[in-house]
A and B are shown apart, each in its own frame.
Chain A
């Protein structure tokens, strides 16, 4: 008989291995934050946080580090995207839940899931070759805040629709029969019962979607023109924080590189704050 380890020893070893892996996985977040901070430190320690907020322009090689225009572009684009996607997404969820017949609802749901799975770079490609020329007909150059928002809206719509539908499904089953027993119309049930009950989950889904919108890079980079400026109209080309990192990392060195890490750090904190808010507002969150 081969000599074997006693079960207790084996158990202890396994627990060790598992704990080590878990510690690695959990430590990863810390490692990421530490490395972002480490890379950002050279410029943070010499220039300070204030110039990133106060400087009016972004010329890191000349010593001005104003992130404001890009931050404004990021926020404006995400907000606009939410403005487009939230009503449409909720409407789509209502459609699948209350209006469509079984197979139609399934078809639409399948389309939403498929849409959620389309890579952002493909959406960017489509936006640039199809959407941008259309906007260009309205007002040149076409690559603009608007184009970015529309493509972003397409990206986050599934998140909102799926979250909302999950929330509606979990609330409506019981209310539906009760409310229809009272003789309420379908619309009355939606407005008076279903939506108010699902409100928190929908809010969570929207917050989560805005976090994703703020963090999105490729699609936005490809369609929004990438001019560093404070947007003054929907048709202005703008550059978001994420696009800026993607565009300049390739050649940045020294302080310039460090200042890109500063913007990355800022972006992370912003996105994590939104995600935390989504978590707090509770509700069932469907990861699309």
Chain B
């Protein structure tokens, strides 16, 4: 795949030419610009209120894509439409297509449960269930048909090790998850998503409710997921986006609806943005 799709979809506003993405600037070489998810002219509205207009963007497999933009421009809405969590919101209509490995996720007959199993999501506020740590992780496994207790325990252990919690809490797996610290809770939520072995992780400001230390821990964790998972992360912390993301998409509210202004390699978007709104935003002048 040598001609990435972005070029066709987001014409360069200055030159009028389609731009292409070159080789990766940051991140290990495992990130190939092969689209894992393609969002095609997506529009989303809550009732009469359009919040996303004509968004087209590719999310590359194994890479970390950061979504940035001012509050209210629809980043969370975009994330939730990728795993069809928007189905749960009354009056939310989604137009356009979202292709996951070539298939439209809105096509009739698509199993949402399977979709969400493969596309995990982490929320802004840690939301471990009011159960024990072990049950938090076992519940989704059982739900997806895993019955073998040994295997369940193995997978719990593996995912807790992945998020670096194993050493901290392996001796109290049966304690209530709510007793953990905020940062631990958030990592538990990540483990809970990972335990299902998804291929995509959607993260909605996973660090914003955490203190700086926990935030750094989670950030390192996200960084370590690169290559194995396709990560889409929303963050208001531009420095963080810059540190961990391979690609970045900048959203802006235009005519009261969120639009995609620029999508590029993270480094390029921050260092030589092509749109002046992007430039102003990343330099801290606006937004």
Q: A residues touching B (Cβ–Cβ < 8 Å)?
A: 1-2, 4, 6-8
Query: Across the interface, do B145 and A8 meet the contact criterion of CB distance under 8 Å?
Result: no
Question: Which residues of chain B are near A4, meaning CB under 8 Å?
Answer: 145, 147
CB-CB under 8 A for A2 and B147, given A7-B113, A8-B113: yes
> 10 extra interchain contacts, Cβ-Cβ under 8 A, other than A2-B147, A7-B113?
A1-B145, A1-B146, A1-B147, A1-B148, A4-B145, A4-B147, A6-B113, A7-B143, A8-B111, A8-B113
Question: Which residues of chain B are near A8, meaning CB under 8 Å?
Answer: 111, 113
Our count of residue pairs bridging A and B at CB distance below 8 angstroms stands at 12
Question: Which residues of chain B are near A1, meaning CB under 8 Å?
Answer: 145-148
Question: Which residues of chain A are near B145, meaning CB under 8 Å?
Answer: 1, 4
Question: Which residues of chain B are near A2, meaning CB under 8 Å?
Answer: 147
Question: Can you list 12 A-B contacts (CB < 8 A)?
Answer: A1-B145, A1-B146, A1-B147, A1-B148, A2-B147, A4-B145, A4-B147, A6-B113, A7-B113, A7-B143, A8-B111, A8-B113
Within 8 A of A (CB), among B87-115: 111, 113
The distance from the CB of B181 to the nearest CB of chain A, in whole angstroms, is 32
Q: B residues touching A (Cβ–Cβ < 8 Å)?
A: 111, 113, 143, 145-148
Majority SS of interface residues in chain B? loop
Q: Which residue of chain B has the shortest Cβ distance to A2 in the bound complex?
A: B147
Q: Which residue of chain A has the shortest Cβ distance to B148 in the bound complex?
A: A1
The 5 A-B residue pairs with the shortest CB-CB distance, nearest first, are: A7-B113, A2-B147, A4-B145, A1-B147, A1-B145
What is the bound-complex CA distance between A235 and B42, given in angstroms? Answer: 80
Q: Which residue of chain A has the shortest Cβ distance to B143 in the bound complex?
A: A7
What is the bound-complex CA distance between A102 and B111, given in angstroms? Answer: 58
What is the bound-complex CA distance between A6 and B111, given in angstroms? Answer: 10
What is the bound-complex CA distance between A7 and B147, given in angstroms? Answer: 15
What is the bound-complex CA distance between A2 and B253, given in angstroms? Answer: 50
What is the bound-complex CA distance between A3 and B280, given in angstroms? Answer: 57
Q: Which residue of chain B has the shortest Cβ distance to A4 in the bound complex?
A: B145
The distance from the CB of A44 to the nearest CB of chain B, in whole angstroms, is 47
Question: Which residues of chain B are near A7, meaning CB under 8 Å?
Answer: 113, 143
Q: Which residue of chain B has the shortest Cβ distance to A1 in the bound complex?
A: B147
Q: Which residue of chain B has the shortest Cβ distance to A7 in the bound complex?
A: B113
The distance from the CB of B61 to the nearest CB of chain A, in whole angstroms, is 27
Question: Which residues of chain A are near B146, meaning CB under 8 Å?
Answer: 1
Q: Which residue of chain A has the shortest Cβ distance to B147 in the bound complex?
A: A2
Question: Which residues of chain A are near B143, meaning CB under 8 Å?
Answer: 7
What is the bound-complex CA distance between A8 and B111, given in angstroms? Answer: 9
Interface centre among A1, A2, A6, A7, by most B CB within 10 Å? A7
Question: Which residues of chain A are near B148, meaning CB under 8 Å?
Answer: 1
The distance from the CB of B125 to the nearest CB of chain A, in whole angstroms, is 26
What is the bound-complex CA distance between A21 and B111, given in angstroms? Answer: 28
What is the bound-complex CA distance between A8 and B148, given in angstroms? Answer: 22
The distance from the CB of A11 to the nearest CB of chain B, in whole angstroms, is 9
What is the bound-complex CA distance between A7 and B146, given in angstroms? Answer: 13
What is the bound-complex CA distance between A1 and B113, given in angstroms? Answer: 19
What is the bound-complex CA distance between A2 and B146, given in angstroms? Answer: 8
What is the bound-complex CA distance between A4 and B145, given in angstroms? Answer: 6
What is the bound-complex CA distance between A2 and B147, given in angstroms? Answer: 7
The distance from the CB of A188 to the nearest CB of chain B, in whole angstroms, is 46
What is the bound-complex CA distance between A223 and B113, given in angstroms? Answer: 64
What is the bound-complex CA distance between A8 and B145, given in angstroms? Answer: 13
Question: Which residues of chain A are near B111, meaning CB under 8 Å?
Answer: 8
